[in-house]
Amino acid sequence: MSLLLLFIRSYNIPEANALMALFCFHPSRFEAREDEFGNAILYEDLDTSKWSEDLISKGEPYLRKSAVGAEISKYHIEASIAFWRTHPRESVEKWENILQMYNHLLQLEYSPAAALNRTYALSKVKGKEKAISEALKIDLNENHLYHSLLGELYRGIDFNRQLKHLKLALSLAKLKVKRNFWKRRSR
């Protein structure tokens, strides 16, 4: 990574700075994303004390430097989303900003994965019912993350659909740790 860092620093351009911010923000939460057995932990259950404040504070200047100029790349938007995700306090402002960034990202470059992530943010801003209706428009029926999100969205709304989607997530998960995670969630 040090060669990449030297390369990016030598090209002090907005897109490279946005990419560097992304390189800082994403790994800042890695330690909190798995338990001691390698099991995934849902975003809302993360222990924020395990987040790397050092990486977050290193990413912020890169994000500020990336704001120079009129061009916005997908790295700018992804870095902004990652920045807002490093805010441990749950707030409407946080999720509205993340939702708006996903809206921009989908306009710039559509991907089903980004649409799926947008759906989670939508659930935080507009509620689960609205998010379910949007999720059902995404064609990711063979993706375990799609079904796991639907399973979580149906939690507290429709137990049978929740269980159906969590079981589908379990059957589609390829890694053993992911299968174990969805097996525990479907109980």
Residues 84 and 155 in one domain: no
pLDDT of residue 179: 52
Range of the domain at 67: 1-88
Q: How many residues are given for the chain?
A: 187
Residue 20 lies in a domain: yes
Place of tokens 């992911």: 178
Burial (CB count within 10 angstroms: exposed 0-12, middle 13-18, buried 19+), residue 25: buried
Residues 9 and 69 in one domain: yes
Residues 3 and 83 in one domain: yes
pLDDT of residue 93: 93
Mean pLDDT by 10 residues, the chain (187 residues): 58 87 94 81 86 96 91 94 91 95 96 96 96 94 92 96 91 66 56
Residue 135 lies in a domain: no
Domain end point (choices 73, 88, 103): 88
pLDDT of residue 35: 81
Residue 100 lies in a domain: no
Decide: 63 and 17 in contact? Cβ < 8 Å: yes
pLDDT of residue 3: 63
Residues 83 and 154 in one domain: no
Transcribe 59-101 into DSSP letters.
HHHHHHHHTSSS---HHHHHHHHHHHHT--S--HHHHHHHHHH
Place of tokens 């707030």: 91
Residue 117 lies in a domain: no
Residues 77 and 159 in one domain: no
Residue 130 lies in a domain: no
Burial (CB count within 10 angstroms: exposed 0-12, middle 13-18, buried 19+), residue 104: middle
Number of domains in the chain: 2
Residue 63 lies in a domain: yes
